[in-house]
């Protein structure tokens, strides 16, 4: 949704006759949000998109919450998670609420079907892997560190160059994932104080129109069930489209951190917003430069949000025992903060190499049973014990 985009062939006006080379009409489809009031795109198909030949329930997507939830901080290790399934079936759902589902996948198979989420926008953070996001809006190459934002209603699949890959999924249940409103002016343009701008955003690069026929399966996710829709025509039969709805990518390395003399709060790391949650990027940056600054965060109680952090590397100054692929959950209601020795160890440090993706939800999260298998049971007590030792082995003053 960043701006108006057009690709391929379009008639001069919307809703007028637009003919194929054989004289037949292309089939126009308005793919819109919020009942003709939100953003939309118009697609021109070679075949009517309504021509389904067979459909059935494919599977029920049951996410079981833990039976006796306890208010506690949690740490899940996904670094050693065994690869399984494809980008969709390989998801291990770890946390969820009425607004969002957070999961991690280590796909080992390519998708041999197409996918559409009818509920809300999908955000996929590509921790490991390269390939192509193919969709009816065209193809978009992706690489490590990319956030892929895929609007609901899009028919798509991921094609990896090599497997396994590692993906972090944030699925909105209803609604859009977009750039934070406070970064945009009244015209929709990202303003000077935004940590990234339109130049950093990639939109579909290549529109491939497929007119071949056969058996094509589109799996549609809606309200906890996945349905298999079979068509005789390839779903990427679009000759042209225009509008504001399309998949796009932003790489975490293109996030320009905002720094200050004293500790800056997490909203300066905000990257996206969704219905009932925000997503932030913690990136390598200069640390606070007041002569008496404490570069690690103070203890804090997030009274109205649950905080999930996915650690892309293990250089997170305020945490102990963090591995690549670790996830911490700090729920509202109890404080968390730097672990023993972290404050002292941080004094005078000038840089951090940390990289992490954070999701803050405004309604409490439920932990899924599957998460328990990855849990480090000692984490709630990790604020006790021996202090963190500063590591000055590197060439720079980095820890
Ligand atoms: Fe926090």
- What are the pLDDT digits (tens) for 220-274? 999 999 999 999 999 999 999 999 999 999 999 999 999 999 999 999 999 999 9
What is the pLDDT, as a whole number, of residue 35? 86
Flag whether 41 is in a domain: no
Residue 335 Cα to ligand 1 middle (Å): 9
Between the alpha carbon of residue 85 and those of residues 110, 115, 121, 163, 336, the distances in Å are: 8, 14, 22, 11, 35
Residue by residue, DSSP assigns 91-149 as: EEEEEE-SSEEEEEE---S--SSEEEESSS-EEEEEEE--EEEEETTEEEEE-TTEEEE
What is the pLDDT, as a whole number, of residue 389? 63
The total number of structural domains in the chain stands at: 1
Read off the pLDDT of residues 23-33 as tens digits, 9 standing for 90 and up: 999 999 999 99
Flag whether 36 is in a domain: no
Looking at residue 343, which CATH number applies to its domain?
2.60.120.10
Flag whether 232 is in a domain: no
Residue 114 Cα to ligand 1 middle (Å): 37
d(CA 250, CA 324): 21
Residue 397 Cα to ligand 1 middle (Å): 24
Tokens coding 123: 């955000």
Residue 306 Cα to ligand 1 middle (Å): 9
Residue 127 Cα to ligand 1 middle (Å): 21
What is the pLDDT, as a whole number, of residue 398? 33
d(CA 341, CA 390): 8
Residue 213 Cα to ligand 1 middle (Å): 52
Flag whether 319 is in a domain: yes
Flag whether 336 is in a domain: yes
Residue 337 Cα to ligand 1 middle (Å): 7
d(CA 42, CA 244): 9
Flag whether 247 is in a domain: no
Residue 354 Cα to ligand 1 middle (Å): 14
Domain of 320 in residue numbering reads as 252-381
Residue 249 Cα to ligand 1 middle (Å): 26
Block mean pLDDT (10 aa), the chain, length 399: 91 98 97 92 98 97 92 96 98 98 98 98 98 98 98 98 98 96 96 98 97 98 96 98 98 97 94 98 96 93 94 81 94 93 91 96 97 95 77 39
């Amino acid at each position: 949704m960043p701006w108006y985009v057009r690709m391929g062939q379009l008639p001069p006006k919307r809703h007028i006759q637009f003919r194929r080379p054989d004289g037949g009409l292309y089939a126009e489809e308005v793919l819109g949000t919020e009942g003709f009031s939100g953003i939309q795109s118009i697609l021109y198909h070679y075949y009517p998109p309504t021509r389904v030949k067979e459909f059935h329930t494919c599977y029920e997507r049951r996410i079981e919450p833990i039976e006796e939830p306890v208010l506690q901080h949690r740490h899940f290790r996904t670094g050693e998670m065994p690869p399984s399934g494809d980008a969709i079936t390989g998801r291990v759902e770890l946390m969820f609420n009425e607004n969002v589902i957070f999961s991690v996948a280590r796909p080992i198979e390519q998708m041999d079907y197409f996918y559409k989420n009818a509920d809300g926008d999908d955000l996929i953070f590509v921790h490991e892997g390269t390939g192509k996001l193919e969709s009816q809006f065209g193809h978009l190459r992706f690489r490590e560190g990319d956030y892929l934002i895929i609007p609901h209603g899009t028919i798509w699949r991921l094609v990896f160059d090599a497997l396994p890959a590692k993906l972090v999924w944030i699925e909105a249940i209803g609604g859009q994932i977009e750039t934070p409103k406070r970064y945009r002016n009244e015209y929709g343009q990202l303003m000077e104080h935004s940590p990234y701008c339109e130049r950093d955003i990639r939109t579909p690069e290549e529109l491939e129109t497929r007119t071949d026929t056969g058996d094509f399966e589109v799996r549609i996710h809606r309200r906890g069930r996945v349905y298999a829709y079979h068509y005789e025509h390839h779903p990427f039969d679009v000759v042209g489209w225009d509008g504001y709805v399309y998949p796009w990518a932003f790489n975490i390395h293109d996030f320009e951190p905002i720094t200050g003399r004293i500790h800056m709060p997490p909203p300066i790391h905000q990257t996206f917003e969704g219905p009932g949650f925000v997503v932030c990027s913690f990136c390598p940056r200069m640390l606070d430069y007041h002569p008496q600054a404490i570069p690690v965060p103070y203890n804090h109680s997030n009274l109205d949000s649950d905080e999930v952090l996915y650690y892309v590397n293990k250089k997170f100054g305020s945490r102990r025992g963090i591995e690549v692929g670790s996830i911490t959950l700090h729920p509202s209601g109890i404080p968390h903060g730097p672990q023993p020795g972290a404050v002292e160890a941080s004094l005078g440090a000038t840089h951090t190499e940390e990289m992490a993706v954070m999701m803050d939800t405004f309604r409490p999260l439920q932990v899924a049973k599957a998460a328990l298998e990855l849990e480090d049971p000692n984490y709630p007590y990790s604020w006790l014990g021996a202090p963190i030792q500063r590591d000055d082995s590197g060439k720079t003053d980095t820890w």
